[in-house]
Amino acid sequence: MTVSTPTVAPETPVSGAAPAVEPAHIISSPRRPRLAPPSAGTGPVWSRPLHLEDQVAARITRPDFADWLRHVRPAAGCTRPIRLYGDIYTVEADTGRLLSTVHTADMPDGVIYKACGNRRASACPSCSKRYKRDAYQVIRTGLVGGKGVPDHVATHPAVFPTFTAPSFGPVHSRVVRKHTCASRRSCDCRPEPCHARRDTPTCPHGIRLVCYARHDPDDPRLGTPLCLDCYDHAGQVVWNLQAGELWRRTAEAIRKYIRRLARQRGIDPDRVRLSFGKAAEMQRRGVVHFHAIIRLDGAVPGDKTAIVPPPSGIDAVDLVDAVDHAKHTMFTTGPHPDRPHGWRIGWGDQVHTKVITVAGDGQVTDGMVAAYLAKYATKSTEITGHTSARLTADTVDLYADPDGSHTERLIDACWRLGRDRRWRRLRLWAHMLGFGGHFLTKSRTYSITFSLLRNNRIVYRRTVTAGPPTGDRAPREETTLVVNFLQYVGAGWRTPADAMLATTSATLAREHQPTMQGHMPALAAWQEHRQTCLDSKPGRRTACMVGPAPTPATLYSAADVAKELRCSEWWVKEQARRRRIPHCRIAGSYRFTAAHLAEIIRLFEVRPTGQPGPSGPPERAAVRTTTTAHDGQPPVVLRARTPRRVRKAGMPGSSAA
């Protein structure tokens, strides 16, 4: 590709041991041609050093290293950031006038680094931690209110049911009937034997279906079948595929039950509404089960977004009964060449429903539920030991084996059953063991959205960057639009050294954050005390700090003022430097307002003789330096000595005084 090529060809990412690095050359020049992709450069190019120490030295010795650190800060903690190349335009919203243009070629590395935003903790710990915190806010806001959700939702009846999958064969498990530990995270309670039986049944394949071991939490045998050949792998992947449809039918059954109950008790069914929130958890055996939140709300006919208190007469006990009624929902899938009559899809026997309390004194509180669901929002199939991207015909043989392990047989079942055109979704989601739904879903009226949280975060960062508003000053409306014409050029850091430096910088910032949070109250108190002291000074004007925000004045540069006054720019700057004309000193530059320009004209105005006029700038008086008398001695008048050439010529006045 030549330098004049305007298009950008995506690069092929490296897979395997270094997911955060892509092969590229290091360009010595920090500026690159605008029409060329970031991989092309006009300056000298050297090959990438083989050792990490050499790569670090090559990066930190570059003159733009500080700018590079500031440039990659938004994506510093990301394992595999997205690299974008193109132009950024700032346009005036009212007139459409182009205000400024920024080219990524003028930035360090010639690209913009954007965090990947992956929710999976195994793929990107930094982005998944942010997603987990957002998920916690989304779930908890639907239980206690806030961020635009009415606070009275805390008084609405809500339940927390858990829907499990049926059994597809006996697997190794760890069951603790009575916990005596203080925390489930560090549970050291004695579990029950896995599959202890008095008789020793044997399967048709000659495998004894017993296990007397008390498995540890990290035992790799947990979740694996006692007999791989007897296990229904095909039925499990089909159930995973149809789990979303089963949940939809179950939620509809719960709604119908509540509407029928309201009609029996004399309540208008149109004034009762249910809001749902759901998180999917992948079990060790490779099958999902759902944790849901069901909240009872009132409804306003004609307004689908209004959240009002529910009518009296229906409580949390009725919600529990509705779940117990809907857990028997079942349906049969369509035919398949391997199963002409289809598969029977339904829930397992273990369906538990608990009432959620907001006061913090119940068995299940709002904080516990939000933290529990947010934890599973960042997990995927890694608990089964399988992690891969979407599989293709070229890569499926690396993970599928009809005679292999439990997960390999599940993937093989997805690929084998997905050969039929009506079941091709199994091949599409083979890397997820057949499950193709979202791991966190909710109703529209349950709570806020992730987009709202991201937008609020952007506004907060812009506010912090621009500084807090003064007094009661409200933020102005956005009058400009930022239009991005960016193209994807790759994912990951350019070198392992870049990944190490960016990750280290983000780690230090995270470690420093708790310390700064501890000092924030003292800093706020000091700033308040300082402001009080400044306001108490005599003659200090504080009226401008309260009230509505004034309209900002238009600022002009020295060149603009010189053009208006028909003088040189140097004269304007010199007069401002000597403080002879009014001006503003902003970021090391002279700036002038319209009032300043009018004042400058008034200062230099010349009126006819005899008419009073404004006093101009003070005339510069001649300065005469004399010595001061000491101890009553008369002052000594200093005179210049006659030049030597005059004395040598014998001219009059050659003698020194």
Identify the pLDDT of residue 537.
62
Per-residue pLDDT at 230 exceeds 60: yes
Residue at 490 is within a domain: yes
* pLDDT tens per residue, range 28-87: 333 333 334 444 444 444 445 568 888 888 888 888 888 888 888 888 888 889 999 999
Query: Do 433 and 317 share a structural domain?
Result: yes
Identify the pLDDT of residue 362.
64
Separation of alpha carbons 378 and 440, rounded Å: 9
Give percent above pLDDT 70 in the chain. 78
Q: Checking DSSP bridges between strand 272-282 and strand 288-300, what pairing results, if any? A: antiparallel
Per-residue pLDDT at 513 exceeds 70: no
245-272 mean pLDDT:
94
The residue that leads in pLDDT, 105 or 610, is 105
Position 345 confidence tier, pLDDT thresholds 50, 70, 90: very high
CB-based contact 375:369 (threshold 8 Å): no
Separation of alpha carbons 247 and 243, rounded Å: 6
402-423 mean pLDDT:
93
Query: Do 489 and 390 share a structural domain?
Result: no
Identify the pLDDT of residue 187.
73
Per-residue pLDDT at 627 exceeds 70: no
481-490 mean pLDDT:
88
Per-residue pLDDT at 507 exceeds 90: no
Separation of alpha carbons 602 and 612, rounded Å: 13
Position 517 confidence tier, pLDDT thresholds 50, 70, 90: low
Query: Do 571 and 500 share a structural domain?
Result: no
Q: Checking DSSP bridges between strand 98-103 and strand 158-163, what pairing results, if any? A: unpaired
240-248 mean pLDDT:
94
CB-based contact 243:288 (threshold 8 Å): yes
628 phi and psi angles, rounded to 5 deg: -95, 140
Per-residue pLDDT at 640 exceeds 80: no
Separation of alpha carbons 170 and 219, rounded Å: 17
Per-residue pLDDT at 318 exceeds 90: yes
Separation of alpha carbons 230 and 167, rounded Å: 12
The residue that leads in pLDDT, 512 or 57, is 57
Enter the tokens of residue 279: 């998180």
Residue at 521 is within a domain: no
The residue that leads in pLDDT, 628 or 501, is 501
Query: Do 587 and 491 share a structural domain?
Result: no
Residue at 191 is within a domain: no
Position 340 confidence tier, pLDDT thresholds 50, 70, 90: very high
Position 15 confidence tier, pLDDT thresholds 50, 70, 90: very low
442-446 mean pLDDT:
91
Separation of alpha carbons 48 and 55, rounded Å: 7
Enter the tokens of residue 350: 């273990």
Per-residue pLDDT at 395 exceeds 50: yes
Residue at 240 is within a domain: yes
566-573 mean pLDDT:
89
Separation of alpha carbons 90 and 43, rounded Å: 30
Position 651 confidence tier, pLDDT thresholds 50, 70, 90: low
Query: Which domain covers residue 45, as residue numbers?
Result: 1-117+480-510
Burial grade of 406 (CB within 10 A; 0-12, 13-18, 19 or more): buried
Per-residue pLDDT at 598 exceeds 80: yes
Closest by Cα among 190, 196, 197 to 175: 190
Query: Do 291 and 240 share a structural domain?
Result: yes
What is the domain count for the chain?
Answer: 3
Three-state DSSP state, 344: strand
592-601 mean pLDDT:
88
Place of tokens 């849901």: 292
Identify the pLDDT of residue 253.
96
Per-residue pLDDT at 119 exceeds 60: yes
Per-residue pLDDT at 629 exceeds 70: no
| Helices 233-264 + 406-417 axis angle, to 10 | 80
Residue 461, CA distances (Å) to 126, 454, 456, 457, 467 in order = 18, 11, 9, 6, 10
Q: What is the 3-state secondary structure (H, E, C) of 274-333?
A: EEEEEEEEECCCCCEEEEEEEEEEEEECCEEEEEECCCCCCCHHHHHHHHHHHCCCEEEC
Residue at 624 is within a domain: no
Place of tokens 């540890």: 216
**DSSP string of 509-538, one letter each residue:** HHHHHHHHHHHHHHHHHHHHHHHHHHHTST
Identify the pLDDT of residue 86.
92
Identify the pLDDT of residue 324.
94
Residue 371, CA distances (Å) to 137, 184, 217, 296, 435 in order = 9, 14, 21, 21, 23
| Average pLDDT in the chain | 80
CB-based contact 600:590 (threshold 8 Å): no
The one-letter code for the residue type at 546 is V
Closest by Cα among 359, 291, 430, 370 to 155: 359
* pLDDT tens per residue, range 363-388: 688 888 888 888 888 888 888 888 88
**DSSP string of 627-654, one letter each residue:** PPP-TTPPPPPP-PPPPHHHHHTT-TT-
Using the 3D structure, point to which of 600, 617, 636 is the last residue of a domain: 600
Query: Do 493 and 576 share a structural domain?
Result: no
Three-state DSSP state, 92: strand
Number of H helices, E strands in the chain: 14, 18
CB atoms within 10 A of CB 376: 19
The answer to pTM > 0.85 is no
Distance of CA 594 to the CA centre of its chain: 42
Query: Do 163 and 264 share a structural domain?
Result: yes
Closest by Cα among 275, 274, 277, 273 to 292: 277
Q: Could you tell me how many residues make up the chain?
A: 657
Query: Do 576 and 484 share a structural domain?
Result: no
User: Half-sphere exposure of 367 toward its Cβ, with a 13 Å CA cutoff?
Assistant: 4
Most confident of 258-272, 345-359, 488-502: 258-272
Separation of alpha carbons 435 and 23, rounded Å: 34
Query: Do 497 and 439 share a structural domain?
Result: no
Closest by Cα among 613, 594, 590, 592 to 603: 613
Residue at 560 is within a domain: yes
Identify the pLDDT of residue 175.
86
- Give the DSSP H/E element, type plus range, for residue 54: helix 52-60
Identify the pLDDT of residue 46.
46
Residue at 395 is within a domain: yes
Identify the pLDDT of residue 644.
77
* pLDDT tens per residue, range 279-304: 999 999 999 999 999 999 999 888 88
Identify the pLDDT of residue 405.
93
Query: Do 240 and 311 share a structural domain?
Result: yes
Residue at 17 is within a domain: yes
Query: Do 576 and 436 share a structural domain?
Result: no
* pLDDT tens per residue, range 417-430: 999 999 999 999 99
Query: Do 506 and 416 share a structural domain?
Result: no
- Give the DSSP H/E element, type plus range, for residue 145: none
